[in-house]
């Protein structure tokens, strides 16, 4: 019998999976997951992301068993382990969903040097290699990217999960790392992802445009952890957008386009994973005060809306997009701490921590990315709180010291409290300081040309 390996990486699903479909067309499918030491170090194993991934693997393994198959797990460098299994199966071809991070691309190049590896689309809605402007350059504005995105063909059709799969051959397997933890109310796995999407589409998508920025309402899908590990395909989300009215549909699709934009930026300019896209970024004189960084992390800045976001992050591993923008802006602009410190901390904490989206989000806030927020846009935390948490409920839910403060007073009319700190830096002072630092960086960069 001819075998075909379906190498699972961050596509933990049976439906809408082009790699699985291609493997099924090619031979008797053998599902493989490789525990790659480069991605499963001690610190990774302590993260919520790891818990969510392993819970997802547990769910996937049982879905495979229910269909007559079995998940094969191997441990070691992928180039060695994938080749070893392919060899054991008589030179079986390998099918996998294409991933675009710098590490994934190096890994896949190494693997394709030793086996017949076919990469298929699914991680993004458009292939980043095709997302170039008329001059063949990567897009540096979201607007241009969006136009090209809308004009380019869809990559992937939707399809159901197979009802049956062939029995896996008698090859060895490590035990799958298993866990059944919930992360911020998220059960891992494809079934949970589909149920969460259905709930969002029937109960909340219609109001997405109106409520998506509100911190005190459950206005967004909260699907990001599932999307991060491919427990649901982005093409399934895109199809669901059609069930909303035009405003919400457009607003939701735009978020999926932003996701593709960040993927494409990292694909074309891998140096942005750790370096500033805008040259002036190198000249920003960050203050990088460790004590202030620690206060930001622990949610004791004295700015309620910032502290609520940081405490929610530490406690659950998920925060709202608006909250991500507010806390990131505070770190970068109020405290003048290098966005890379925040990016690393977010990636450690977030269940959905994803290199492209996270770096893209941080560089957007810092003003150093392509199509990012202008340097002079400095969020006023009190105004952000009053606007996006008008009744103060979000703050009171996470900052217990402020539970006795009524309504919107939690944002800017706090009484003196013995157990809650005063603001660690004055907003007007911090704003003026950030503007000066950014302006000098921009000036120095111009003068150096
Ligand atoms: C500083 C910063 C860091 C971020 N880090 C991450 C990260 O590590 N991982 C991550 O998935 N998102 C990240 N984001 C993007 C965004 O905040 C989250 O994707 C979103 O809050 C997830 O909530 P949701 O599923 O309810 O989103 P919805 O609003 O329901 O959006 C649907 C899906 O679109 C995608 N998406 C939405 N907004 C964005 C965006 N701006 N960029 C990229 N994809 C988006 C997500 O997959 C999301 O599940 C970051 C944003 C900022 C400002």
Position 53 pLDDT exceeds 90: yes
Domain annotation for the chain: domains and CATH numbers = 3-120 (3.40.50.620), 126-157+190-268 (1.25.40.80), 279-447 (1.10.579.10)
Please tell me if the CB atom of residue 366 comes closer than 6 angstroms to any atom of ligand 1: no
Q: What is the pLDDT of residues 135-162, one digit of tens each?
A: 999 999 999 999 999 999 876 779 999 9
Structure tokens, 255: 């978020």
Reported as a single tens digit per residue, the pLDDT across 5-26 is 999 999 999 999 999 999 999 9
Q: What is the pLDDT of residue 184?
A: 64
245 or 385, which is more confident = 385
pLDDT per residue as tens digits for the range 326-367: 999 999 999 999 999 999 999 999 999 999 999 999 999 999
Q: How far is the CA of 27 from the centre of ligand 1 (A)?
A: 37
CA of 224 to the centre of ligand 1 (A): 6
Ligand 1 near 276 CB (within 6 A):
no
**Residue having the nearest C-alpha atom to atom 39 of ligand 1:** 255
Q: Is 339 in the pocket of ligand 1 (CB under 6 A)?
A: no
**Residue whose CA is closest, atom 47 of ligand 1?**
224
Residue of 357, 369, 384 to test ligand 1 pocket, by largest number of atoms within 8 Å of CB: 357
The confidence score (pLDDT) of residue 47 equals 87
Mutational test site, ligand 1, from 224, 230, 351, max ligand atoms within 8 Å of CB: 224
Regarding pTM above 0.75, the answer is: yes
Proportion of the chain above pLDDT 90, given as a percent:
90
Q: How far away, in angstroms, is 219 Cα from ligand 1 center?
A: 13
Residue 187 near ligand 1, beta carbon < 6 Å: no
What's residue 214's pLDDT? Answer: 98
pLDDT value of position 45: 78
Q: Does the beta carbon of 258 sit less than 6 angstroms from any atom of ligand 1?
A: yes
Determine the Cα–Cα distance for residues 146 and 131; give it in Å rounded to an integer. Answer: 10
Check pocket membership of 228 for ligand 1, CB cut-off 6 A.
yes
Q: Separation of 321 CA from ligand 1 center, angstroms?
A: 6
pLDDT of 176 reads 84
Ligand 1 atom 48, closest CA = 224
> Ligand 1 within 6 A of 301 CB?
no
Q: Which residues of 44-76 are buried (b: 16+ CB within 10 A; e: fewer)?
A: eeebbbbbbbbbbbbbbbebbeebebbbbbbee
Residue closest by Cα to atom 22 of ligand 1: 224
Residue nearest to atom 49 of ligand 1 (CA): 224
Find the 242 Cα to ligand 1 centroid distance in Å.
Answer: 20
Q: What are phi and psi of 418, to 5 degrees?
A: -75, -25
Q: How does pLDDT run across 266-305, given as a tens digit for each residue?
A: 999 999 999 999 999 999 999 999 999 999 999 999 999 9
Tell whether ligand 1 has an atom less than 6 A from the beta carbon of residue 256: yes
CB burial readout 409-422, b (16+ within 10 A) else e: ebbbebeeeeebee
* Sheet with 117-120, edge to edge strand ranges: 72-75, 28-35, 3-8, 94-97, 117-120
pLDDT at 179: 73
Among 233-237, 263-267, 411-415, the range scoring the smallest mean pLDDT is 411-415
Lowest mean pLDDT among 36-40, 103-107, 320-324, 440-444: 36-40
Ligand 1 and 346: CB distance under 6 A? yes
Contact 277, 269 (CB under 8 A): yes
| Positions marked active-site | 255, 258, 286, 321, 339, 362
The pLDDT of residue 412: 86
Closest CA to 145 of 261, 271, 9: 261
> Is 73 a pocket residue for ligand 1 (Cβ < 6 Å)?
no
CA of 189 to the centre of ligand 1 (A): 19
């Amino acid at each position: 019998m001819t075998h075909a390996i379906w190498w699972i990486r961050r596509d933990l699903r049976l439906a809408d999976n082009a790699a699985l479909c291609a493997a099924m067309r090619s031979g008797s499918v053998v599902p493989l997951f490789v525990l790659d030491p480069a991605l499963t170090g001690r610190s990774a194993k302590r993260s919520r992301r790891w818990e969510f991934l392993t819970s997802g693997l547990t769910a996937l393994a049982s879905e495979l068993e229910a269909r007559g198959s079995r998940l094969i797990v191997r441990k070691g460098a992928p180039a060695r382990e994938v080749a070893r299994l392919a060899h054991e199966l008589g030179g079986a071809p390998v099918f996998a969903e294409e991933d675009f991070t710098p590490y994934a691309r190096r890994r896949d190049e190494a693997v394709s040097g030793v086996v017949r590896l076919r990469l298929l689309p699914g991680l993004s809605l458009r292939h980043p290699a095709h997302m170039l402007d008329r001059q063949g350059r990567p897009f540096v504005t979201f607007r241009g990217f969006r136009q090209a995105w809308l004009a380019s063909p869809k990559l992937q059709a939707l399809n159901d999960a197979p009802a049956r799969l062939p029995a896996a051959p008698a090859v060895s397997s490590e035990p799958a790392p298993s866990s059944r933890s919930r992360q911020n109310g998220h059960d891992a796995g494809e079934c949970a992802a589909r149920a969460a999407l259905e709930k969002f589409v029937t109960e909340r998508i219609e109001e997405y445009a109106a409520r998506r920025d509100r911190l005190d309402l459950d206005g967004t899908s909260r699907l990001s952890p599932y999307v991060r590990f491919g427990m649901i395909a982005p093409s399934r989300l895109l199809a669901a957008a059609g069930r909303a009215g035009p405003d919400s549909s457009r607003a939701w699709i735009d978020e999926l386009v932003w996701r593709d934009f960040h993927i494409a930026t990292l694909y074309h300019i891998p140096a942005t994973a750790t370096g500033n896209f805008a040259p002036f970024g190198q000249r920003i004189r960050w203050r990088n005060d460790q004590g202030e960084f620690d206060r930001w992390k622990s949610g004791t800045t004295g700015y309620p809306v910032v502290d609520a976001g940081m405490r929610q992050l530490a406690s659950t591993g998920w925060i709202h997009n608006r909250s991500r923008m507010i806390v990131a802006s505070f770190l970068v602009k109020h405290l003048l701490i290098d966005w890379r410190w925040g990016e690393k901390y977010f990636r450690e904490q977030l269940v959905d921590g994803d290199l492209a989206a996270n770096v893209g989000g941080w560089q957007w806030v810092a003003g150093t990315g392509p199509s990012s927020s202008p340097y002079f846009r400095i969020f006023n935390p009190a105004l952000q709180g009053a606007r996006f948490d008008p009744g103060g409920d979000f703050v009171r839910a996470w900052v217990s010291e402020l539970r006795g403060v009524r309504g919107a007073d939690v944002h800017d009319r706090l009484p003196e409290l013995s157990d809650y700190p005063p603001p660690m830096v004055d907003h007007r002072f911090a704003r003026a300081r950030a503007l000066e630092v950014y302006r000098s960086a921009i000036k120095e960069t111009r003068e150096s040309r």
